[in-house]
Amino acid sequence: MATDAPLEYVAPEFGPAVKRWFTAEGLSQQTPHDWAQAADCRGPWNSQTSLLQRNLLACEPGFFISLARFNRAVAGEEPLPAELKRARRDQLMGAEPFKLDDGSLPTAAQWFALYVGELPVPERYRAPSVADLPEPLATAATAVGALTPEQRQQLLDLLAG
């Protein structure tokens, strides 16, 4: 089920963490969809992945089971279906799975715990903070954060022009 606003019970950093994982590994929202179709699995579908990355997906238990299976397939712990197209197979074989801070793959229950914030998002998938930036980027990021949306747009226009 989808909503038009982030869900209150979803950890705010969860969806963006999944998006950072996908981006870092060159995975698209279509990647788990194609795998799920070929593996005869009930997701994760591209629409679910899109909503999940924006914290807009109200997940049912089966979603976390599917997400854990997909992650195991990325890790090579579950065989890739023969029906999966070669390009998608190569993409999955070249990607790293989502891992917890101890290096293990999350189980379905741990994916749920990440989703509701009972398990912290692993360090490698957290958004960088201003404190992590070198100077003078930290100073610039702090200054930009104090700008109004209109001022930010003016700055972007100036930099692009």
Angle at 51 between CA 55 and CA 62, to 5 degrees: 90
Q: Which of 126, 8, 118 is nearest to 58 (CA)?
A: 8
- Note whether 73 and 39 are same-domain residues: yes
- Note whether 96 and 32 are same-domain residues: yes
Instruction: Give residue 76's pLDDT.
Output: 96
- Note whether 22 and 89 are same-domain residues: yes
- Note whether 85 and 25 are same-domain residues: yes
Instruction: Give residue 161's pLDDT.
Output: 74
Instruction: Give residue 160's pLDDT.
Output: 83
Q: What is the mean pLDDT of each run of 10 residues along the chain (161 residues)?
A: 64 92 95 96 94 90 96 96 94 97 98 94 84 70 76 79 74
CA distance 92 to 80: 9
How many domains does one find in the chain?
2
Q: Which amino acid makes up residue 33?
A: H
- Note whether 118 and 139 are same-domain residues: no
Q: Which residues pair with 73 in a beta bridge?
A: none
CA atoms in the 13 A half-sphere facing the CB of 31: 24
Instruction: Give residue 151's pLDDT.
Output: 79
Instruction: Give residue 156's pLDDT.
Output: 78
- Note whether 139 and 111 are same-domain residues: no
- Note whether 28 and 65 are same-domain residues: yes
- Note whether 45 and 112 are same-domain residues: yes
Instruction: Give residue 80's pLDDT.
Output: 95
Q: What DSSP string describes 96-155?
A: PPP--TTSPPPPHHHHHHHHHTSSPPPGGGSPPPGGGSPTTHHHHHHHHHTS-HHHHHHH
- Note whether 64 and 138 are same-domain residues: no
Instruction: Give residue 155's pLDDT.
Output: 76
Instruction: Give residue 11's pLDDT.
Output: 86
- Note whether 23 and 78 are same-domain residues: yes
- Note whether 140 and 94 are same-domain residues: no
CA distance 54 to 48: 10
Identify whether 8 is part of a domain. no
Identify whether 137 is part of a domain. yes
Q: Quick one: three-class SS letters along 85-110?
A: CHHHHHHHHCCCCCCCCCCCCCCHHH
End-to-end CA distance of the chain: 42
Instruction: Give residue 102's pLDDT.
Output: 98
Instruction: Give residue 118's pLDDT.
Output: 93
- Note whether 22 and 59 are same-domain residues: yes
Structural domain harbouring 95: 14-125
Identify whether 156 is part of a domain. yes
Tell me the pTM: 0.78
